[in-house]
Amino acid sequence: MMRPVSDRFSYQQKLFLLGTVPLILAVALISLIVAYQSRQLADREIATLEQTLIDAKKDELRNYVTQARNGFYFIYGSAPPDDEDAKQRVKQILAAMIYGEEGSFFVYEYDGTNLVSPRDTRLINGNWSGLKDSEGTPIVDELIRIARSGAGYHSYLWPKPSTGEPARMITYVTSFPSWQWAVGTGVFIDDVIATVASSRAQVEARTRSTFLYIGGITLAALLTVFGSGLLLNIRERRLADTKLKALTQRVFDAQEEERGRVARELHDGISQTLVGIRYALDVTRRQLGLNKREVPKTLDQGIEGLASAIQEIRSISRDLRPGVLDDLGLGPALKALTDDFTARTGMTSEFSTVVFRNRLDADAKIALYRIAQEALTNIERHAEASHVKLSLRGDRLGAILTISDNGQGLEEGRKQADTSPRGGIGLRNMQERMEQLNGTFTVTSDSKGTTVQARAPLSHMLPPDPYTSKTAAEPEDAAT
């Protein structure tokens, strides 16, 4: 079953999408509008440029034909339609009028016969009616039609004399009606096409540059939004982590205060009351013995049960808040914890430490002691180990507490722990305690056993006490 889209993103991701998606859509719309307007404007400009260049070519052609007509009009104007000598003289004049690299004049009779073609003499005296270019555009027939109607322009593909390849040509043709001639000249406009293509390429390049600028601005805006959101998220997360850490520390402090209060109540209140009751029962038993009266078995059983209860209360009080931790330090407290663990479980245990005296602050002492206490409890319940090692050391980075066992490993132990209401909570509590100290907590486990290591940083190490420094050479077994 698929989750709703709203459940697939975090709150920060939703805010980022809310800020970026409208921006991206707006930029995309602006880009499309700019592209469309730019293309429309470019097409109009290019069309205007092309038309201007072609008009200039047409004016040039008309001037050529007009000048040529004026040059031999004195012959044509006075010659009758059948004056072959006059026709021959005009054809010679037109054949000699070659200009530029490609320009020349041509003459076609109305039936399609070519009379003048200085650039391609193969055409002379041939009838080219019906000739078309590679695009299917009629050439000779259309030139004759235009000439019959007076004068005009025609565009078609024609082999370029310099290359032999077809190129676009514009031709201006006029009529000598009494001789039934179509006279004209043409120019190739490949330079116009190249100019137009170059202009179009420049427009395309400017359009791409515009898109690149828009894309760059959009990317910068997105990076700004993303960076601002990231910085805000980091700041808010740090504030939340700081508040959470302070709250967790208050919870730990409240727990320790409550444990201390309950431990004092048990030790100073209930324990003392039970001790008094036991003393009264012992006195009663002795008095009955002095009066040679039989002491009831229930009295002996009650005294023994009362002694067990007192011992249990003292054990609970010590677990809640061991007095040796406050009085002697962490080292002796861990040693007492290890000895009590051995006596209670029957496992062999080994405790080692070094002498670096009372260098840990109260928070670090309590955290390391609770981690050792929780670790030993987990070993007792789940590890099925036979030997436990516990060590407390100091180095340049702080204090290191290591607890290792030769049990079945964390995975097998976790299967059993998961059936318990506290399954997995112990490791999380240990991790949170070290996080409160800005320390590190690691667990390594395999089939040969588990090792738990907690490191308290130097920030929780107190400076050496002057008196302690003077007596550092004295033997001591308390490392804290």
Residue 86, in any domain of the structure: yes
Residue 123, in any domain of the structure: yes
> Residue for token digits 């007509």?
69
Q: Name the DSSP class of 6.
A: G
Calculate the dihedral angle through the C-alpha atoms of 225, 230, 235, 240, rounding to the nearest 10 degrees: 120
Domain boundary among 166, 188, 210: 188
Q: Is the dihedral of CA 123, 127, 132, 138 positive or negative?
A: positive
Number of domains the chain contains: 2
> Residue for token digits 């318990």?
420
In terms of phi and psi (left: phi > 0; alpha: psi -120 to 50; beta: otherwise), the region of 463 is beta
Residue 355, in any domain of the structure: yes
Domain boundary among 188, 221, 238: 188
Cα 431 from Cα 427, distance rounded (Å): 6
Residue 233, in any domain of the structure: no
CB of 303 closer than 8 Å to CB of 282: yes
What integer pLDDT is reported at residue 353 of this predicted model? 87
Domain boundary among 129, 153, 188: 188
Cα 22 from Cα 359, distance rounded (Å): 58
pTM: 0.47
Cα 284 from Cα 360, distance rounded (Å): 50
Long-range contacts of 132-137 (CB under 8 A, 24+ apart): 133/157, 133/158, 133/166, 134/166
Residue 362, in any domain of the structure: yes
Closest to 156 (Cα-Cα) out of 128, 127, 129, 186: 186
What integer pLDDT is reported at residue 447 of this predicted model? 82
Instruction: Name residue 219's amino acid.
Output: L
What integer pLDDT is reported at residue 478 of this predicted model? 40
Cα 181 from Cα 75, distance rounded (Å): 15
How many Cβ atoms from other residues are within 10 Å of residue 127's Cβ?
13
Instruction: Name residue 257's amino acid.
Output: E
Question: For residue 414, what is the domain's CATH number?
Answer: 3.30.565.10
Residue 475, in any domain of the structure: no
Residue 149, CB-side half-sphere exposure with 13 Å CA sphere: 10
First to last CA, the chain: 55
Cα 376 from Cα 333, distance rounded (Å): 14
How many Cβ atoms from other residues are within 10 Å of residue 341's Cβ?
21
Its domain, for residue 167, covers 15-188
How many Cβ atoms from other residues are within 10 Å of residue 430's Cβ?
23
Cα 397 from Cα 15, distance rounded (Å): 41
pLDDT means per 10 residues, the chain with 480 residues, are 54 68 78 78 77 82 82 78 87 86 89 91 92 92 92 90 86 90 88 80 80 79 76 80 74 69 67 74 75 70 76 70 74 87 88 73 85 88 89 84 88 48 68 85 88 86 57 40
Question: For residue 132, what is the domain's CATH number?
Answer: 3.30.450.20
Residue 226, in any domain of the structure: no
224 exposure class (CB count in 10 Å sphere: 0-12, 13-18, 19+): exposed
Cα 329 from Cα 192, distance rounded (Å): 98
* The Cα angle at residue 318 between residues 314 and 320, in degrees rounded to 5: 115
What integer pLDDT is reported at residue 417 of this predicted model? 42
Residue 272, in any domain of the structure: no
Backbone angles phi, psi at 362, to 5 degrees: -65, -40
Contacts of 455 (CB under 8 A, 6+ apart): 397, 398, 399, 400, 401, 434, 439, 440, 441
